[in-house]
Chain A
């Protein structure tokens, strides 16, 4: 399969000179099984450019089909959808997968895609759209690709996905906090808790289960894309924001026996030079610890081939 990064940024798009090399668009990754329809993970602003590229193919003639796996519906993961050109062409088939909510998924997406926030309602899209609500741990197939998922530690709950096809596995883990300090769900956490206080046993057990689920999902992955919005020091100031850091990502990659770890969901104010420095630091760490996996950092336009092409 081929993998291409269209948006690598967390929280909010950040145009400007300081972010030109890594890119300022929010989360969006395209996965292309050999000869298959695109599987898109997340619909941040990177989706706009991907949509334009797809219009050069069958989607431009209304003969395209794509699946979009949504990790969660926070803005930076859905805000590109109204600007996805294939939706505006009759005949295209777009199916959207996301974790189930109290309301129907189509209603959730309609809320961002229509008045008073956007001039064109979701119901006016010309393409055929289908919404599939996923329960935690859902497994399903898209063509030859096997999709599995598990829950992440993030406010309002996010899903991680594993895509297995062409003899390779890609795992996408964004957004998540580490599984050590705080259980994030539907409660709003006003203030950062003390990280040194012991956790209630139930919470610790729930987090341990979640961590085991992520490690199992990432077992032997050829590519593990992981939320590293924070540095360790930044994480300690904002553990309740639901994002992780490279030290934690490396621990997960090591436990899972992943072959390549990709730092992802870069903080909005992180400059290209900052990202270079973080990458160099952790490539150094992995070289010293003798870990066998490679550490890379996601940037817009990065293309990787996994397994049989």
Chain B
């Protein structure tokens, strides 16, 4: 699996000279599978740039881009939850305007009808000139992610689990690329927008869900002092992320979903403190990868 970060910011896009190193776009991560498949995590404003790169051929040279340009492309989108910063790129994702392309969205809530209605709400004529999802040219199937079974996304095995996100929940995804002779299976966990309403330490069920992952991408919205005054918003601090990574014995930890008010220098500080927190907790062997727009990560 090869990850690429298209949007790493939380809550609302944060343009400006002070955010250009980490990037100001909201949540979107792509996974290119070894077999050439494309899985997309969340649909923040980063999705527009992913779509443009896909059609321009700068994401993957060769078959994938050709297919999306010719209307023969297919991809799976895993949606953690429907807060704006996770869906606001959808109307600007140009491959949905190419007839013949096909997208499957697996999202939260347990009901495909309800989820589709929520996504329709974003296209309501009061808010969007598109007026309805039905004006997409591509096929766009909305499905409810099962919570008790493995499902398949472009050949990857996916398990979804609702995590506390303040007063509500967001899905975390555990994604495994199966091994083959001479190559071990690899597991990536995406856990953005997780945060308990009170400080109760790591959630044992969540730790079990992360256990042994090669890479854990975990919400690191806040420094602890900022989290303390905004606990009800349902985001993690870098301390929460480091504690989870050590408890679950993961290989590498990716920081993600930085607060919209943090400058690049402040995010540098979050990353440095996260490294120290891992070390202090006995996680010296855990690699730390700060998510930055445009960066790739091979798993």
Contacts and interface: CB of A to CB of B under 8 A. Distances in A.
Nearest to A24: B15
A155 interface: yes
A25 interface: yes
Contact of B24 (A15, A73, A82, A268): A15
B233 interface: yes
A278 B63 CA distance: 36
A267 B109 CA distance: 35
B179 interface: no
Contacts of A15: 9, 13-16, 19-20, 23-25, 45
A241 B15 contact: no
Contacts, number: 118
Interface string B5-20: 0000101111111011
Contacts of A19: 15
A115 interface: yes
Contact of B15 (A23, A108, A156): A23
A17 B14 CA distance: 12
A188 B88 CA distance: 21
Contact of B127 (A45, A80, A112, A115): A112
Contacts of B260: 48, 83
A293 B47 CA distance: 40
Interface stretch (A89-97, A116-124, A126-134): A116-124
Given A45-B13, A118-B84, A186 B24 contact: no
B92 interface: yes
A117 B12 contact: no
A195 B77 CA distance: 38
Contact of B92 (A9, A12, A79): A12
A12 B132 CA distance: 18
Contact residues of A: prevailing secondary structure: loop
Interface string B78-104: 000111100111011000000000000
Contacts of A190: 135
A19 B14 CA distance: 12
Contacts of B17: 20
B126 A117 contact: no
Interface band, chain A? 35 or more
A80 B135 CA distance: 26
A306 to B, nearest CB: 26
A11 interface: yes
Contacts of A45: 12-13, 15
Nearest to A109: B126
A101 interface: yes
B41 to A, nearest CB: 18
B233 A119 contact: yes
B290 interface: no
Contact of A16 (B24, B92, B135): B24
B68 to A, nearest CB: 18
B147 interface: no
A24 B13 contact: yes
Interface string A12-33: 1111110110011100000000
Given A16-B23, A48-B12, A155-B129, A117 B233 contact: no
A78 interface: yes
A242 interface: yes
Contact of B118 (A83, A108, A116): A116
Interface string A26-54: 00000000000000000001001000000
B16 A73 contact: no
Given A13-B45, A15-B20, A75-B88, A156 B125 contact: yes
B61 interface: no
Given A111-B121, A156-B125, A188-B131, A16 B83 contact: no
Nearest to B23: A15
B128 A13 contact: no
A117 B124 contact: no
Nearest to A117: B84
Interface string A171-190: 00000000000000010101
A259 interface: no
A74 interface: yes
Given A116-B82, A188-B135, 5 more contacts: A12-B92, A15-B9, A118-B84, A119-B166, A186-B125
Interface of B: 9, 11-17, 19-20, 23-25, 45, 48, 52, 81-84, 87-89, 91-92, 118, 121-122, 124-132, 135, 166-168, 233-234, 260, 293
10 contacts: A14-B45, A15-B23, A15-B25, A16-B20, A74-B127, A75-B91, A79-B12, A80-B12, A83-B260, A112-B127
